Amino acid sequence: MPMQKARKTIKITGLAFGGNGVGRMDDNGKVVFVPLTAPGDEAVVEITAEKKRFAEGALKEIINASPERVEPSCRWYGACGGCSWGHLTYNAQVDWKARILEDTLRRLGGISGVPFDEPARSPAPFHYRCRARFHCADGHIGFYGARSREVVPIDECPLLEERVNAAYAAIREAIASTDDRSVESVVIGAGAEGPAAAALHVHGRQNPALVKALARTEAIKGFEVRQAASGKLISTHGTVALASNISGVEIASGVSVFSQANRAQNRVLVDKVVEYAGLSGAERVVDLYCGCGNLSLPLALRAGFVTGVESEAAAVEYAKANAARNMPGNTAFHAAGAAAWLERNVKALEKDGTDVIILDPPRDGEFDAARTIARLRPSRVVYVSCAPPALARDAGHLALNGYRLTRAGLIDMFPQTYHVESIVRLDRV
């Protein structure tokens, strides 16, 4: 008979990056991380794992609820892994994200005393996502479960724009009506106007019955089918390009190409990057992880020359096309890994002069690029991050090598989740 797991009464005193509530066990003082709890909760917690320095627990009962706790608005909350902070008031979510950012920079990066901008709250805490990825298994479609890779079938998501929810419903119905088992995942995206578009990633061959069913729906303007393993395009039906006006620039991207999921907050982010860059019109700027030109092109309106670097070739093609439509010729885009390209071009960049580097890496950050930037010594670095630990590591390295972090800001890109989108400016000392 398995040993019964211990249950303890825990007072939750904070939140950690990753979404868990944080408390301490009375008997040994060990920190315990508990999902679905709020600061101020007094709760019965089952200890599910005990490590040398911390423990993990599962919420079993709320004895006294935190004033920051609210009833989640989604009936799949807790099972679905799409949200982690839907049980918190929105003000509490933003306040704790700001605390986590500041604390992580201090603890992991050795950076303190930074002037923080007022957090940029999302104008819509719900129905803000214009892009999402869904997963499929056994003929069902939904999001991965909380802390698992099991698919949780859902009917709709309160974080998605209505057009994305409508497209999702149509695709879910098509998969069910054709008893499809070929689709591994689906990406749905919506531009500023019109119906959404979709990308289906399949095992083996595409399902003709599913393609026919999707071609009939008015909820999507177009879709493409790709091989799940390689990403190779199998077929395209209708229009899959998505377009938005960002800081005065018309930027198009493909549904399979990365773009920010919160359109309103992306505009705030772009404006903040332009502000932090402090351009006067003559600067030479390098934008690492430039994507389709989301930051590069608004910066190019205010800079002497902007070079964008992006590893995804399809995104680079969109960036070049966007530049051709919008720019007077002061941009260049390269399909390459950011750190490798920077290392290869250090001498040329030193010769030409590089005034500002924009860095917007994925979750793991870009320590190799940070080391090269420290050698290149541009006047200013603007770093956009979706993971405070990686930001603290990279910015901390720059701070030890001739840079000072002079501004920092939080843009709440993902309400109801623990994800922290931030921006910092580092000036050469």
Catalytic residues, by residue number, are 386
Residue given tokens 């989640």 in the structure block: 72
Residue given tokens 């201090």 in the structure block: 106
Residues 6+ away with beta carbon under 8 Å from 4: none
Angle at CA of residue 202, ends 196 and 204, nearest 5° = 150
Element holding 23 (H helix, E strand): strand 21-24
What DSSP string runs through 110-153?
---SPPBPPPB--S-SSS-BSEEEEEEETTEEEEEBTTSSSEEE
CA–CA dist 77, 59 (Å, integer): 14
CB atoms within 10 A of CB 106: 14
Q: Is residue 175 within 8 Å of 136, Cβ to Cβ?
A: yes
Q: Is residue 359 within 8 Å of 384, Cβ to Cβ?
A: yes
**Amino acid at residue number 387:** A
Angle at CA of residue 20, ends 16 and 23, nearest 5° = 80
Q: Which burial class, exposed, middle or buried, applies to 204 when counting CB atoms under 10 A from its CB (0-12, 13-18, 19+)? A: exposed
Element holding 212 (H helix, E strand): helix 208-216
Q: Which segments of 239-330 are extended strands (E)?
A: 241-246, 249-254, 284-288, 305-310
| Tokens encoding 94 | 């933003």
CA–CA dist 369, 385 (Å, integer): 14
CA–CA dist 264, 261 (Å, integer): 9
Gyration radius from the chain CA atoms: 23
Give the helix ranges, DSSP H, for 278-423. Answer: 296-300, 313-326, 338-344, 346-352, 367-376, 388-399
